[in-house]
Structure 1
Amino acid sequence: MSLEEIREAYAECAPWMERLDWLDRRLTGRYRRELFGDASGQVLDVACGTGVNFPYLPSDVEVVGIDISPEMLARAQDRLEGLAVDGTVRRMDAQNLAFDDDSFDTVISSLSTCTFPEPVAALEEMDRVCKPGGQILLFEHGRSDVGPLARFQDWYADAHYATAGCRWNQEPLELVLQSGLSIREAETRALGIVTLVDARPSQESVVDTVRARLSSPEG
């Protein structure tokens, strides 16, 4: 799908995604809490949707949520106003982020690479805007480790993409490796469908990390 087709699709699904927020919390809340609870400093939430990640962030961070869909962002702004987390939302293409290099301490994204027209380009942009010593935290879904379920995903992949704009049989770790990000930890859950990734910027060195820590307020 093109960016405009994706925007139109999410304009239609924004209302029911908001209504099903309770189900999302029940199914994915534990993964978001586990991964995004470690975010710190200035946080960028890429493809933030209705702001479903915001409640799982520590209260002392400052978050910027970006998304291609104005309808999603309107709901994300409403959610943000009801939380203790400071932040804002902006309409933006994840594959062409309007931020300077090394702008954020933490970059997060959830269930997003399956919809990006060029997922590796989006991951490379996350890499670019993350500071040395920072972290890139990804909660993704993809092809199951269980044979029959994986074969069903493959069989229905084209039809699912045509209706939902989602590549549900993608391999998230392959995309992360292609982007050049340095994977610190990666784990699959839920029959291999869920993938949690804790990564670091691709050009980070030990010297960069030490300098970033020495220049931080905590020292």
Structure 2
Amino acid sequence: MSMSIKPQVSSQPPPPPPPPPKAETLLDLWRSAWLPLTGAALAAGALGFYIFGTVAASLKVCPCSGSCEHSTPTGRPPALDGDNAEQFDKELNLPEWWMGITGLRKRLAARATGHVLELAMGTGRNLEYYNWEPLNERVSEAKGGKQAKAGADTPRGITSFTGLDISVDMLDVARKRLVKTVPPMKSSSPIVRASNMTDHTGGQLSFLDDQLRLIHSDAHHPLPGPSSPSTKYDTVIQTFGLCSVSDPVTVLTNLASAVKPGSGRIILLEHGKGWYGIVNGLLDKNANKHFEKYGCWWNRDIQGIVEEAALKTPGLEVVKVERPNILQMGTLVWVELRVSEKDRS
């Protein structure tokens, strides 16, 4: 006789299902997202405020009305004359600080060493940032002052300086800046040299035994060499010059002829077309207004101009092209060039 065994059934009830997730309220969502949302809003607001400030600083009401006399840049801002050159210079302080140009001028000046040529120096807005110590020491030694220690490292900085511009009014403002910036200048009387057809200059002021010169000339013409026995410059600097000349490729070729092959450097800080089409469209739209006041075309393709000059000029090489200050959206262009020793020997 077989017996069947019934399975035992548990008397415990099954566990209750988990409670449904609590629906997030608007407050919960805000608490979890407030930091990224707030950060994004602040960033967007700051960017918008920055762009507005940049445009407002760049597009001030122009004293020129209608079309200006020169559609081709001459290097002379139409709004500038002998009576307002200093005021014109002061009006650049806020826009340059706002756009980060002041800091870039300091960076540029720190690279100036040895025999220095500055093209399109304008009112001398770079002068106060240069290291003049080597020049000051040379002047002191020439006057019988304290001699430099034998074997001491020569400080990086300027040993001689030549500044060139096409505007006499701007050069006069630069001269006043030099007196405040270079201590020996206060007791130095300038030697005035008249215009010279052989070196294509319109006259010059020479200070400190020709170690510091301000020359009235056009960058399209052959450039004067250093006053020292050296025939080439160690550093050639130009800020916002390619936008203000009629033939920027020719100017770059001239710079290449003036710099020392191999170790010498050409350093440019320029403005022109940026990364984005919308920005370039705004530059194009307002180019005439900007030209009427500042005498430059701020919508040129600076990188394209530099690359064209490198192709056409024997030995000229592009060392670096960068676009500093991301908030300027690529419209500021830093360029470094050199000349090959092989091709210029």
With over 3 angstroms needed to count, the CA separation of the structure-2 counterparts of 1:151 and 1:21, relative to structure 1, is closer
Q: For each residue in 1:158-210, what CA deviation from the matched residue of structure 2 results, as whole angstroms up to 9, or x when unmatched? A: 45435542111111111111112311121102210101112112x434997xx
TM-score (norm 1): 0.83
Asked if 1:195 is matched to 2:333, the reply is yes
User: Are the structure 2 counterparts of residues 3 and 170 from structure 1 closer, same or farther at C-alpha, using a change threshold of 3 Å?
Assistant: closer
SS at match of 1:136: strand
> Gaps spanning 5+ residues in structure 2: where?
1-69, 135-157, 184-210, 311-315
Aligned to 1:204: 341
Match of 2:321 among 179, 182, 186: 186
Paired residue for 1:136, among 260, 263, 266? 266
Query: Separation in 2 of the partners of 1:184 and 1:5?
Result: 28
Aligned length: 207
> 1:127 offset after TM fit, Å?
0.7
Larger radius of gyration: 2
Report how far residue 121 of structure 1 moved. Answer: 0.8
Runs of 4+ with deviation above 6 angstroms: none
1:120 aligns with 2:249: yes
2:120, 2:219 within 8 Å by CA — same for their partners in 1?
Answer: yes
The answer on whether the counterparts of 1:51 and 1:79 sit within 8 Å (CA) in structure 2 is: yes
Q: Is the 8 A contact 1:38 1:58 kept in 2?
A: no
Q: What is the one-letter code of the residue matched to 1:187?
A: E
What is residue 123 of structure 2 aligned with on the other side?
50
- In structure 1, stretches of 5+ residues that fail to align are 209-219
Higher strand share: 1
How does 1:55-204 map onto structure 2 within 5 Å? 55-59=128-132, 60=134, 61=158, 62-84=160-182, 87-100=212-225, 102-132=231-261, 133-180=263-310, 181-189=316-324, 190-201=328-339, 203-204=340-341
SS in 2 for 1:49: coil
Q: Which residue is equivalent to 1:33?
A: 106
Q: Which deviates further from its counterpart, 88-97 or 106-115?
A: 88-97
- The CA deviation at 1:67 is 0.3
1:27-85: CA deviation from partner (whole Å, max 9, x where unpaired)? 41111111231111010000000001112222230211100000000010111111138
Q: CA deviation at 1:7?
A: 3.4
Does the 8 Å CA contact 1:10/1:69 hold for their aligned counterparts?
no
Q: Are the aligned partners of 1:11 and 1:70 in contact in 2 as well (CA < 8 Å)?
A: no
> Normalising by the residue count of structure 2, what TM-score does the alignment of the two structures yield?
0.54
Question: Which segment drifts farther, 81-90 or 115-124?
Answer: 81-90
Instruction: Give the letter for the 2:305 counterpart.
Output: L
CA distance in 2 between counterparts of 1:20 and 1:173 reads 28
Verify the 8 A CA contact 2:318 2:338 in the aligned structure 1.
yes
Q: Residues 2, 126 of structure 1: CA spacing in aligned structure 2 closer, same or farther, 3 A cutoff? A: farther
Percent same amino acid at aligned positions? 28
Q: Tell me the amino acid that sits aligned with residue 319 of structure 2.
A: R
